[in-house]
Amino acid sequence: MAEKLRNITFAQAIRTALRAEMKRDERVILFGEDVGYYGGVYGATVGLQKEFGEDRVRDTPISEMAIGGVAVGAALAGYRPVAEIMYCDFLAHASDAIVNNAAKWRYMSGGQFALPIVFRSPGGGGAGYAAQHSQSLEAWFAHIPGLKVVAPSLPRDARGLLKAAIRDDNPVVFLEHKAHYTFKGEVPVEEEVIPLGVAEVKRAGNDVTVVSWSKTLTFALEAAETLAAEGIDTEVIDPRTLQPLDIEAILASIGKTRHLVVAHEAVQFGGLGGEIVAQVAERALDSLKRPPVRVAAPFVPIPYSEPMELRVIPQVADIVAGVRRSLG
């Protein structure tokens, strides 16, 4: 029997997951700047405060440090908080709560405490918000033991992964691309929970493997169509969860294609692309016919100027060029 699907936006997928989990478990609470009455700066939480009340959907002061600290305290008290940080750049303000408390309490208590927190935060550029509101910081948090990091690309992933993140007993940094909230895609009508740590082949191919996530994944899929016209069959892998990383899925793909390209919006230096390349080199170097290629942003802040911003952020053409380099 064919799966019943409906077409919704990325923002609707986030809201659908939040609503379902709040109905399912009264311990799930949501708070952050403008998430309640206003419905979130990108409309992802519209209507939730009216439906669940101000006790469970709360607008907070403009203090990311306070939001992070309250999330840790609420989790230790038995709640399952979803804390929204309006821009991922401002996760830096909440980093002590996230990195030095949320990530470590379960380990330091010998498992006596669970920290079921989801830190939702929009990241990425392409919207003209300049250097302080456009960064991609997934590598920061993937480096911290105790944290899980999720970066969904399509509405289906956003809904299914957010449900899994809310049910997880560990803190999860859930990164949503700010220029992607109106992006539409099909999701199942029935409930779907996508397990964390499991990659997905978004497009099967035999000639080259492209690993990408978040909004850049959609560019990778477009690039694959362009390359198909040249007779290049591209396999596109979406890790979906960056910590833990499903390296086995990537290795399986490379075993078939023998070529690797990693594409992400974050700057290349210290980016997760380098970690993926390193793990492949350690475990499957002999499988590669040519050196891996990274397609990423140069080591500069995100410009405000639209033409300059588009020059910095990797585009479809950059991924196409990266694949051609990888094939020689």
Q: Please name the amino acid found at residue 290.
A: R
The DSSP 8-state label assigned to residue 286 in this structure reads G
DSSP string for 148-209: EEE---SHHHHHHHHHHHHH-SS-EEEEEEGGGTT-EEEEESS---PPTT--EEEE--SSEE
Residue 182 neighbours by CB distance under 10 Å = 11
Separation of alpha carbons 175 and 322, rounded Å: 25
Structure tokens that stand for 130 in this block: 């300049």
Separation of alpha carbons 104 and 145, rounded Å: 8
Q: Which of 21, 33, 64, 235 is catalytic?
A: 64
Residue 101 neighbours by CB distance under 10 Å = 21
Q: Which of 21, 33, 84, 133 is catalytic?
A: 133
What Rg, from alpha-carbon coordinates, does the chain have? 19
Whether 64 is a known active-site residue: answer yes
Structure tokens that stand for 138 in this block: 């997934």
Separation of alpha carbons 188 and 313, rounded Å: 32
Cβ 263 vs Cβ 317: under 8 Å? no
Q: At what angle do helices 10-24 and 155-167 cross, to 10 degrees?
A: 30
Annotated catalytic residues are 64, 133
